[in-house]
Each structure stands twice: as C-alpha cells, then as structure tokens.
Chain A
Amino acid sequence: MSTPLLQIDQVRKQFGGVAALNGVSLTIAPGHVHGLIGPNGAGKTTFFNVMTGLYTADSGRFMLDGQAYAPTAVHKVAQAGIARTFQNIRLFNSMTVLENVMVGRHVRTRNGVWAALSYHRRAREEERETEAVARHLLDYVGIGHWADSRADALSYGHQRRLEIARALATEPRLLALDEPAAGMNATEKQQLRGLLEKIRDDGRTVLLIEHDVKLVMGVCDRISVLDYGTLIAEGTPQDVRRHPAVIKAYLGGAAHV
C-alpha cells in the first residue's frame, strides 16, 4: 500500500474535565474520499479543528504525505496542504466571487508590496495567472458566470461551491469539508455529490464530515465513526453500516439494518 496521504495517530484533547477526543486515529489513502461521521457531540468538529490547527491537541502525531506537520498555526496547516471549508460558510462577503477564489491563491503566490507598486512583468504575469486559475476553478465547480457578483448575493448552494472553489485554489493535498451538505435540499445534495465525485475522480483526496448518512455512504470510499470522542468503527461503507457499535451509537441498542 502506498504512503497514506493523511495519517493521524492517537489524538487526545481535553476541555476541562471532558475528554473530547480519546486517542482518535485516522488514516486516509491518496485519492480517497474519507468520511467522518458520528452522533452529535461525538467530537467530529473538535477533531477537525485540532487537525487544522484551530485547537491545540494535548497529544497526537500528525503526518501529511509522509511528513510530520505540527497543527499549531492555522495558516501553516493550509500552507502545508490541508484546505478546509466551514460548517457555517465563511466567505469574504464584501468581495466578489472571483476575488474570493483569488484570495485562495494567496498561499501559492508571491506578489508583495514592491510587486504591487512597480507592477513589473513577473508581477503582472502572476496577477493574470491568479485570475485565470480562479476563473477556471469557478467553472470547475459550476458557478463561472457568477464571477463578478458579490459573494453574499449567491444562493446557499452556490456559496457552498464557492467555498470549495476557494479551498481548491490553495492547491491542497487534502480537501477537508466540514458538513458541506448542511442546510441543502435533496437536489442540491445530489449536485454536491456529483461535484465531490468529480473532485475525487480528478485525483484529489477528500475528508468529509457529514451528518447525511445517505450521502456519506454513497460517495465515500472509507468511513470512520466517532462516538463520545472515541473511534468506534472504521472501514468501507458496507462494513460500517453493519457494525454493531455503529448501530448502537446511532439507534441505541441492537437492531437489524
């Protein structure tokens, strides 16, 4: 088996007396869509936040593409190659759709103050390239003709896609999505699933926190299940669906699926 793209071992995180994460481990193979599910309060978002540097873990090992990374500073995690979206869509509202994605290019470009003032040839080229890449990504996620609208003028589903396009602009090795289907109707979820499959088919690796079990089962290659801060199951959708601990956590008590 090739090097896993993401390998996280034994993450612990306590808040006061509560162990939000109890030695959780996660391995994601390259090119996979990996799901992270669990009942409310299981620790999914905490894990996500620890992984992306928003919280500091009490202990744990973090490896991206075989190299250790220290999730201490949020922007450094993004620089290392993990790009995330937010559960409650956080766009730069007063900027246009295109500009939002162009900000995503920031971490892979270099123009500074001098470049802005002198506008020398390399600086101009970089600006042109930034805009071109941004437009391409907008087309990729399907909102190309909204490029010059204000970000907050978009519909909810389109805003979601914009957030994904912005994350993709950072050229991430891992795209981490925090409940992207939240608040969507069935059609929008179908479209989201199509987009996720397209992203996966183009070779990206995706980590997905989701509540919509149907979506997760349908699009993920592997799934990890958390409950009360502990990993209770890990495997293919079929394995997880039948796993007794998972059934118990979601439905409480033995049941036949």
Chain B
Amino acid sequence: MNLSTTLTLPRAKARLGALLFALAIVLAPWLLGHAGGNAWVRTLDFALLYLMLALGLNIVVGYAGLLDMGFIAFYAVGAYLTALLASPHLTSQFAVLAAWFPQGLHVSVWLIVPLAALLAAGFGLLLGAPTLRLRGDYLAIVTLGFGEIIRIFMRNLDRPLNITNGPKGIASVDPVSLFGVNLARTQDLFGLRVPSVYLYYYLFAALALVIVFVCVRLEHSRIGRAWVAVREDEQAASAMGLDTKRLKLLAFAMGAAFGGVSGAMFASFQGFVSPESFSLNESIVVLAMVVLGGMGHIPGVILGCLLLAALPELLRASLGPLQQSLFGQVLVDPEIIRQLIYGLALILAMLYRPAGLWPASRGGQ
C-alpha cells in the first residue's frame, strides 16, 4: 500500500472542492445577474446580510442555547449608528455639530464597522445581563421585550431632541466607499463594468466569510465547547467549574457584534433606515433561518438562510404569474404566502426535525 497516494487522494478531492467553491463565490453575481438581472443579485446581497445576522444569532441560540427573540435590536443599533454618523441628519438638527463638521458627518466605513460592532456588543451585554438567571422561555419573552423597547425608542426619539427622526427614519445615508471606490456607482474594474449590487456582493461575501471563519474557529475551541456544555446542562457545566454567566454574556456580546456589523452594512447599502425595518417579524425571520437550517451547525445555517432569503423572490416570480394565469389576478399577495410558509415551517420543523434540515452530526454510534 502506497501511503502517499492514499493520503493525497482525499486531500486532492478536498482541494478541488474548495477551488470550485471559491469559483462559485466569485462568479455568483455574474451568473445570477445573467439569469435574472440586477434584482436577483440585490436579493443575494440581502441574503448575505441575513446570513451575517443568522450567524450571529447562531452563536447565541445554536451554540449557547439562549433563545434571543429580540436579536434584531442589534441590527438596529448598528444601522442607526451608521445612519447618524454618515448622513446629513445630525448636522441638520444640531447647529453645534454643523459648526464642527462643516462638510457634514461622513465617518468612514473603516471606523463605522468596528464602532458598530463595539456598540452592539455593549448593548448585547446590557440586554443579556438581566437575563442570566432566566430559563429558556422566559429568556425568550424578555429578549422580545427588549427588542420591542428598542424599536419603540427608535420610533419616538424625535422629541425632545430629534435624534432618530422618529417614524420617518433617516435618509441619505452614505454608501460604502472603499479605497476611493464608491460602491453605490457602477465601476469599471479590470475592463469590466461592475454594477453597484455586484460590488456590494463582494463586500458582503468577504464579511460573511470572515464571520464564518470566526464562528468555525470558535466552534472547535475551548470556548465553543464551553458554550455547548452550558446549552446542554447549565448546572453540570457549573459543577465542572465553568463560569456560565460570563460565557452567556460572551455569547450575547459576540452575536450582537455580528448583528451590529450587519446593520451598519444594511444602512449603507439601503441608504435609508426606519424603525419598521426592525420589527419582531424580522427577529423571527432570522430565528427561522437558524432553527430550520440546523441550530449550531454553520452549513445548516447557511442553507436555511439562502432558502428563506430566496423564498420571497421565488414566490413572487412564480406565484404571481401563476395566479395571473389561473385566476386572472393575483388573489394572494406572495408576501402573505411567504409568511404562511414560515409559520408552517416552524411548526413542522419542531414536530419532525427539531435539529434542523442539516443538523450537526457529532460522533458515530
């Protein structure tokens, strides 16, 4: 038996797989754009934002077992921070700031992203601290309450000082500008015309890859094992010397940080933030992605995310025309059908596949 060939053959296969995967990532927007135009690539961009959120929530729910139903609050924190630091809103409301920043507030993305991560992590600690002694379902409701409180504040902090501009939201948020390249404009790169949505795709894909890397490294580390231990049996984990409170806070903070980064990207991408983007429904969507995909298992979360993010577009593209041809009109808004599917999916998942569509398989029998 030639040891070197038996060792290199599977490794060669793995290398080939990785190469194909990398190729797919690089070519994705071109393939999708060719098939469905910029709209599909834009959907892909949003899917990546959701992916970052889902990976963050996966740390909290999937690894540490803490059912956070107010996760979207961290998305909101990152988004509003970006909106405040990179739009005309604050300078138009407060003359002091307009005087200090005569060119307007245009904080660079390089500063905003770490700030968003830090601020969101701080909120994560703040919101997590009171929940440390709470059991699963109580924790869920309390975090839901926190999420709603943040949304209500965002909606109402236009008096006495107009900080968030209330229900109208903040517009004209600066797009991302990297190395002098403005991602909101089509650019000519390497002889190709690259539309804005493609540019954002590469940025989000890169960020998502970083987050995936962080999660994978954490999963197979002392901290990752500790989180799973806390999730499985908190008292036993304590008895083995694990400081479960600190571990839970760490999970909250890390998950929140990812949420904040995603929110910052969302604000720059959409150019506009309003409180209604951060409702409980959004928290549930992200939760559904984690739960349905495979709690605690990164490939599962990616699968769940892509499925659920692509779903509304697919439905719109298929059910709209289908209803037109069958009934002559669109009887049921595809949005409603999407929500129906979410609801059914959550119930069915709990009944038949509580570990998700693609769960982690740890160990053999």
Contact = CB atoms under 8 A, between A and B. Distances in A.
A and B touch in the complex (CB under 8 A): yes
Interface of A: 52, 54, 74-75, 78-79, 83-84, 86, 90-97, 99, 102-104, 106-107, 109, 111-113, 115-117, 119, 126-127, 130, 148-150, 153, 166-167, 170
Contact of B236 (A91, A113, A115): A91
A127 B225 CA distance: 12
A75 B241 contact: yes
25 contacts: A74-B238, A75-B242, A78-B240, A84-B239, A91-B233, A92-B233, A95-B229, A95-B362, A96-B362, A103-B225, A103-B242, A106-B225, A112-B223, A113-B223, A115-B221, A116-B218, A116-B221, A117-B218, A127-B222, A148-B364, A149-B364, A150-B365, A166-B240, A167-B240, A170-B240
A102 B218 CA distance: 15
Contacts of A148: 363-364
Contacts of B217: 116-117, 119
A151 B363 CA distance: 9
A113 B215 CA distance: 10
Contacts, number: 110
B221 A94 contact: no
Nearest to A79: B241
Q: Which of B218, B242, B365 has the most A CB atoms < 10 Å from its CB?
A: B242
Contacts of B254: 113
B333 interface: no
Q: Which of A94, A109, A170 has the most B CB atoms < 10 Å from its CB?
A: A94
B67 to A, nearest CB: 17
A153 B241 contact: no
A166 B223 CA distance: 17
A126 B222 CA distance: 10
B310 interface: no
A83 B218 CA distance: 26
Contacts of A111: 221-223
Contacts of B186: none
Interface residues of B, number: 30
A96 B241 contact: no
Contacts of A75: 238-244
B307 interface: no
Contact of A102 (B214, B225, B233, B363): B225
B242 A106 contact: yes
Question: Can you list the 10 inter-chain pairs with the closest CB atoms, starting with the nearest?
Answer: A107-B241, A78-B241, A116-B221, A96-B363, A90-B236, A74-B238, A92-B232, A111-B222, A150-B363, A103-B229
A167 B240 CA distance: 7
Contacts of A170: 240-241
Contacts of B364: 148-150
Contacts of A94: 228, 232, 360, 362
A27 to B, nearest CB: 23
Q: Which of B214, B217, B224, B239 has the most A CB atoms < 10 Å from its CB?
A: B239
Contacts of B218: 113, 116-117
Contacts of A78: 238-241
A102 B222 CA distance: 8
A166 B224 CA distance: 17
B363 A116 contact: no
Contacts of A112: 222-223
B73 interface: no
A149 B223 contact: no
Interface in B228-278: 228-229, 232-233, 235-244, 250, 254
B226 interface: yes
B245 to A, nearest CB: 9
Contacts of B236: 86, 90-92
A93 B239 contact: no
A95 B223 contact: no
A148 B365 CA distance: 9
A141 to B, nearest CB: 16
Nearest to B250: A113
B224 A116 contact: yes
Q: Which of A79, A116, A166 has the most B CB atoms < 10 Å from its CB?
A: A116
Contacts of B238: 74-75, 78
Contacts of B224: 116
Given A94-B362, A111-B223, A117-B218, 16 more contacts: A75-B238, A78-B240, A86-B239, A90-B236, A94-B232, A103-B242, A104-B240, A106-B241, A113-B218, A115-B222, A116-B217, A116-B218, A116-B223, A126-B222, A149-B363, A150-B365
B223 to A, nearest CB: 6
A154 to B, nearest CB: 10
A112 B360 CA distance: 23
Contacts of A79: 241
Contacts of A167: 240
Contacts of A130: 222
Nearest to A52: B239
A100 to B, nearest CB: 8
A255 B363 CA distance: 54
B291 to A, nearest CB: 16
Contacts of B244: 75
Q: Which of B221, B228, B236 has the most A CB atoms < 10 Å from its CB?
A: B236
